[in-house]
Amino acid sequence: MVKTAILLLVSNVFMTFAWYGHLKDLKAAPLWMAILLSWSIAFFEYCFQVPANRIGIQYLSLPQLKVLQEIITMLVFAGFSMAHMKVPITRNYWFAGLLLVGAAYLIFSERTPS
């Protein structure tokens, strides 16, 4: 499961830059350029996401795999927001994180079918 989490982490770094990096770095550029760059970055996201899911499904149920991915996404996005975009993390973001902790508890406490 560690390998899956690492691959998901790397995938989410690429995904976050593909989806949101252009909002800061290319806001004056034409839309087509932002789309082309985002798709180019997203290719690398998929190069890590697909193996992460194939490995992860061997140990986790599909809902567990999705919740793990969402938790990693929120963590990566928080770091990206603060470090790259200079957006502070608000109290509501922390509350959303706590709800994800609750989601993780619920989904991972469920028995996976053998």
Q: What is the mean pLDDT of residues 71-77?
A: 90
Q: What is the mean pLDDT of residues 56-85?
A: 91
Structure tokens at 28: 């004056």
Q: What is the pLDDT of residue 112?
A: 57
pLDDT exceeds 70 at position 53: yes
* Burial environment of residue 52 by CB neighbours within 10 A (0 to 12, 13 to 18, 19 or more): buried
Percent of the chain with pLDDT over 90: 50
The pTM score is 0.80
Give the mean pLDDT of the chain: 89
